[in-house]
Amino acid sequence: MPDQLLFAMEVTLNGLMAGVLYSLVALGFVLIFKASGIFNYAQGVMALFAALTLVGIQDGQVPFAHLINAIFGTNVHHFGWHVPAVFAIILTLGVMVLFAIIVERYILKHLVNQEPIILFMATIGLAYFMEGFGDLMWGSDIKKLDIGLPQGLNETLESVTYGWWGYGFFIDNLDIAATIVAAILVITLTLFSQYSKTGRALRAVADDHQAALSVGISLRFIWVIVWSIAGFVALVAGVMWGAKSGVQFSLSLIALKALPVLMLGGFTSIPGAIVGGLIIGVGEKLFEFSIGPMIGGATENWFAYMLALLFLVFRPQGLFGDKIIERV
Amino acid sequence: MLYREAGDFKTTYSKDSQTFPIKFDRIGYYLILIVAFGVVPFFIDSYWANAVFVPFLIYAIAALGLNILTGYCGQVSLGTGGFMAVGAYACYKFMTSFPDLNIFFCVLLAGLITALVGMLFGLPSLRIKGFYLAVATLAAQFFLVWLFNKVGWFYNYSASGQITAPERSLMGIIITGPNTEAWAKYLFCLVFVVLLAWLARNLTRSNTGRSWMAIRDMDIAAEIIGVNPLVAKLSAFAVSSFFIGVAGALFFSVYLGAVEVGEVFGIQKSFLILFMIILGGLGSIFGSIIGAAFLVLLPVLLKNVLVGTLGWQTDIAVHVEFLIVGGLIVTFLILEPHGLAALWRTVKEKLRLWPFPH
């Protein structure tokens, strides 16, 4: 096979893997949007916060150490213990559930029946708040996240492809792990929403708030559940991205990358989020590979948005979204 | 006692449609103008100009622009930073390509260029709505910043990739460049703020402004009663981008003097200006200005208190600022969705009745 084609294939594969990670973030958006009609801008910061908390718990960092030191003139850093990854993850999940309860209790409850755009801006405010809070709690330096996921070049795949075509594909082990985790996550979520009682209630709320209320489903409980699940998805996304590029502020910016994914896939569709993520992932890698060198590179910054913009002009509801019907 | 409308009879239509129908308001407005033009320039030093007054005035223009689009026409935009960058780079190109051109017109022309770009990116708004549009404006934000970073023509192929404002003067007074006096910067920006606020106020109560508000309140209904959505939305994008472009041009030429596009006009700037209009009040001219003042003053205040008085590190102060701004946004949206301007309106209602409770 010609080299160019092989390169393109490798780029496509890498793009698919990157797309899976975008899909993970987009998934959290879709869940919350379906259940409460809220476009949760804070999803990216939730991923950052979850990853920060995980690292903090694992390393036994003292929360608010900087603040305590600044106020009392002490010098505390760490408790001096190391929590095993599994316990740390469970504790972090607890923190995310607590966060979901607080958000429902102090924000969502008061904003029922507001316009969607007001809710959207409220989540932007929430994102800023959490960013400041997370940084104050755990410090803003770049942290290394290690919960024992495989990393580095996958040698089996390289040798196999080398044997076939005389050219070894370079695929990161972590990306493969991310793909598997994402697949498991999506299957679990689908099973949960299709076959469990809570899942059915979730879908009922997504369909029609008032009808769901009238048959005795507690809206507030459902919201807590949904935000907890979104927190869980954020944790998974945060772990994957954090393991890839370190836990740092830029992690919260992947939320912005998930937006065009959603626009492509439609805001209300879980398969849409996956397919949209894959299209964006492959699209931006291939574009950078083929057109990028001609126009100066670094096209990954805007390609996704432009693609989504062009796409929306022709199909405003996205690939899998519900048809938008408006009434006066 | 002070704030009375009783006995103030309007006998002509023009008097009836005054911007400030109450005498007390009118006097206050003229007093502020007199102080701003006649007193502040004599006392301003470069710290106050650079830390407070000049950024406040420039952000006020940008907030006015975004408020026209978001507050009056209901189209949420996250591309403000990108459009400011268009204004800045257009201004730079005009300044360097036509050295004899008056700086005042450079800024205005930069605004016009931005208006054109804004209309281009406003076109999708005819098809897509709500936060779909908000995300579409992100495309403008990232694409424009990338463009100014990558295409050498925009920054005249300078080695650093930065643009630097050459020295220009107006009526013999230096306005841009490193030798500018603080009061000259301040006055130059103030003139723009007053002119543009006057324009915005009168546009928003004209036929155009009413059609924007009709689109905001319900676009389909507006269409049925005969508002042309194409004209209304694109004019809102054009006017808004003009304001934002002027703000970007001033931000670059008068305030900073040298600009690196990704750092100055990044996505954070878009959010900052969006926060200004949320806190100040959506759909209010006064709100845009008070919101800009609030978010310019808050970091200065926090820095002085936390770093200056308590001796904390700067990064903690920054985090606390994030925390407070985010918290305030949520609190305001819950308690007072119309922002500081609505609080001021409540105060005025109370003043009208004072000292009686009813």
**pLDDT, tens digit (0-9, with 9 covering 90-100), for B229-283:** 889 999 999 999 999 999 999 999 888 888 888 788 888 899 889 988 988 888 8
- Is B221 in the A-facing interface, judged by CB distances under 8 Å? yes
- The count of other CB atoms within 10 Å of the CB of residue A102 is 12
- Asked whether residue B209 is assigned to any structural domain, the reply reads yes
Nearest CA distance, B251 vs chain A (angstrom): 24
Locate the chain A residue with the closest alpha carbon to B277: A121
Count of structural domains within chain B: 1
What separation in angstroms does the CA of B44 have from each of A274, B186, B244, B262? Answer: 57, 8, 26, 31
**Mind listing the pLDDT tens digit for each residue in B214-231?**
998 888 899 899 999 889
Yes or no: say if A125 and B330 are a contact pair by the CB < 8 Å rule. Answer: yes
Burial of B357 (0-12, 13-18, 19+ CB in 10 A): exposed
What's residue A167's pLDDT? 67
SS3 B183: helix
User: Which residues of B, range 75-114, sit inside 8 Å of A by Cβ?
Assistant: 76
- Asked whether residue A214 is assigned to any structural domain, the reply reads yes
- Asked whether residue B262 is assigned to any structural domain, the reply reads yes
Which among A127, A33, A120 has a CA at the least distance from the CA of A317? A33
What own/partner pairs with CB < 8 Å and gap ≥ 24 does A69-72 have?
A: A70/B310, A70/B311, A70/B312, A70/B313, A70/B316
Q: Do B329 and A122 touch (CB under 8 A)?
A: yes
Give the closest of B128, B151, B333 to A121, CB-based: B333
- Asked whether residue A9 is assigned to any structural domain, the reply reads yes
- Asked whether residue A309 is assigned to any structural domain, the reply reads yes
- Asked whether residue A322 is assigned to any structural domain, the reply reads no
- The span from the first CA to the last CA of chain B, in angstroms, equals 14
Q: Which residues of A touch B325 (CB under 8 A)?
A: 125, 128, 132
- Asked whether residue B10 is assigned to any structural domain, the reply reads no
Tell me the backbone φ, ψ of residue B127, rounded to 5 degrees: -100, -35
Tell me the backbone φ, ψ of residue A248, rounded to 5 degrees: -155, 175
Q: Evaluate whether ipTM surpasses 0.85.
A: no
Nearest CA distance, B143 vs chain A (angstrom): 5
What's residue B245's pLDDT? 94
Locate the chain B residue with the closest alpha carbon to A292: B150
What's the sign of the alpha-carbon dihedral A285, A290, A293, A299? negative
Give the closest of A107, A132, A260 to B330, CB-based: A107
- The structure's pTM equals 0.86
Q: Which residues of A touch B310 (CB under 8 A)?
A: 70
Asked if the model's pLDDT at residue A328 lies above 90, the reply is: no
Provide the residue count of chain B.
Answer: 358
Count of structural domains within chain A: 1
The mean pLDDT value for A175-190 works out to 83
Percent of chain A whose predicted confidence (pLDDT) is above 70: 89
With cut-offs at 50, 70 and 90, classify the pLDDT of residue B115: very high
Locate the chain A residue with the closest alpha carbon to B124: A313
User: For residue A252, what are its two tokens?
Assistant: 């919260």
Percent of chain A whose predicted confidence (pLDDT) is above 90: 1
Q: Provide the residue range defining the domain that includes A235.
A: 3-314
What gap in Å lies between CA A27 and CA B314, rounded to an integer?
36
- Asked whether residue A319 is assigned to any structural domain, the reply reads no
What's residue B299's pLDDT? 84
- Asked whether residue A326 is assigned to any structural domain, the reply reads no
- Asked whether residue B313 is assigned to any structural domain, the reply reads no
Alpha helices in chain B (DSSP H): 13-16, 23-34, 40-43, 46-48, 54-66, 80-97, 103-122, 130-150, 182-204, 207-217, 219-224, 229-250, 261-264, 267-280, 285-302, 314-335, 339-353
- Asked whether residue A327 is assigned to any structural domain, the reply reads no
Asked if the model's pLDDT at residue B195 lies above 70, the reply is: yes
Q: Do A39 and B131 touch (CB under 8 A)?
A: yes
Nearest CA distance, A284 vs chain B (angstrom): 14
Which among A42, A38, A13, A19 has a CA at the least distance from the CA of A130? A42
What gap in Å lies between CA B76 and CA B138, rounded to an integer?
11
- Asked whether residue B67 is assigned to any structural domain, the reply reads yes
Q: Provide the residue range defining the domain that includes B175.
A: 42-266
Residue A153: DSSP 8-state: B
What's residue A56's pLDDT? 84
CATH number at residue A194: 1.10.3470
